[in-house]
Structure 1
Amino acid sequence: MREFAYERATDAGQAVTAVLADPEAVFLGAGTNLVDHLKLGITAPGRLVDVSRLPFDEIIERPGGGMRIGAAVRNADLAAHPLIRARYPMLSAALLAGASAQLRNLATTGGNLLQRTRCAYFQDPSTPCNKREPGSGCSAIGGCDREHAVLGASDQCIATHPSDMAVAMAALDAVVRVLGARGEREIPVTRLHRLPDAEPDRDTVLEHGDLITAVELPALDWARRSTYRKVRDRASYAFALVSVAAALDLADGVVRDARIAFGGLAHKPWRAYDAEAALRGKAATEANFAAAAEAELAAARPQRQNGFKIPLARGVLVATLRELTEQESR
């Protein structure tokens, strides 16, 4: 491991200033992702600025019914919070579906959003990877691509985003609050993460020195009727092959509105806008759920080994929407 400097920030402004002053500096929170990458030789920053002691560990109810979640809130605490469980059950379920209990007790909201891909080639410095070393090539294209993207990929990278929490956040129209060189600003979660395009090494739109301070959830009363379904190779400790975060607003058997996002299919949490549009004003029937899935997945482009993800995603979405409809009828 390369030697690096370490300093502990005493406030957010100092942390941002310290990272801005050093092109090789990065923020250190819980370190559940970063420390692995240091050990593997994937990254070698010259300075770590520890932000784990900053006062961003509160979950606060906002006027009007929304929630403000500090960037340092632990995943386990967020999943267990009574207002999150009651108002945004998809978010609680997504958090509980991710990682292990030990990791959830350490990992933070801000860090979870900034997870890097779990592509095996990205994690192996002996193989070419455009995300790790731009211009070196993508070993997954033509290689072992079973777990890789079928939506939004490019000829530079076909990796998928690993977070469960971020999928639910995308479906809920969450907004990230960021402090950086340009002061404080807001970024919708749906715009935080990037598709690979020609710059697969850039996972997000964040700039050097940008620090996530909080995530805000809007008031969405019908998000109480929501869930998260995750399909994976093992019952636990595994990343999603396909996952769905969904909420339905129903009236007399008709879909008034919907929020849907997929995980495991793309380089970022994939908000299913086409599926949502296809559902609005339609009867909550299995046929219409399937048609909505087809509308979203029409653009899917599988690799050699991951074509199964398309019918799997269709089936998972239909089953999830059917479950939410049955909840309404009880």
Structure 2
Amino acid sequence: MGVGVTAGMGVGVLAYGALVERTAYTLRRVSVPVLAPGTPALRVLHLSDLRVTVGQRGKLAWLGDLARLVPDLVVLTGNLVCADEARDPLLAALEPLFSFPGCFVPGTHDHRAPTPGGPLGRPGGGTPAEPRGRELDWPTLAAKLVAASGWRDLTNTRAVADVGGLRLDLRGVDDAGLRRDRLEAVAGPPRAGTDLAIGLSHTPRPRVLDAFAADGVRLVLSGHTLGGQIRLPGIGAPVASAGLARSRVRGLSRQVSGGTESWLHVSPGLGTSPFAPIRLGCRPEATLLGLVPRVI
């Protein structure tokens, strides 16, 4: 195969990733056997890494249409916007979902705007220890989201909520990649009388996952990795991210720590960095998690 043909194929693949797959929004349904036997099932809509910028009408319209799923709980695990100007368009798009209970935590880029690099530019998908990029007004976005929806802001805090006939212990941390998490503020066993403890952490750092598992949190929801953003046939994500194995940067997996186990769901998210607007083998995704009883 000639150099010209190879180069042409490469350009075609990149164009497909940037122009087609990047906006091929997909709903995935995943069953999680995490509830006690005899407990009614629960439908959780997990959204992450929306990374909204001004003018993304297609993404916002698709996002609002998810209300047709009638979830019992909506969970946002951060990186909602890439600019303060995208706050109001995001809130307008989410409005159809506000009739359902929900909760959220921020991600890296809810505090700082994206900069060149990101998962494609930093081997291992690491997050810089020191924030980079223009500072964003996360407190205003969080306050507006709470006021508009009544959803719970779980940033370094815990709450108990009655959802879908179940009583949930909910806890979340600020972005662990930027070391803004305060695990001590949410530590401890599940509240008495609750059916399930769910933890939220935008970046699925192993130390956060281990701490949640040790406290009896049986389901952790995260994002950050974009599922690898570019996934290769037979290989998957070419690099690890957030300290996870490459096989765990997208979807459902088990977290085993010190004799305790929990489920981890990492959302591949619905967006990309403005500086790397491409997806290959990893469509933008929302996930409807069906929480069902364990089989004994």
Fold shared by both chains (TM-score > 0.5):
no
More strand by share: 2
Larger Rg: 1
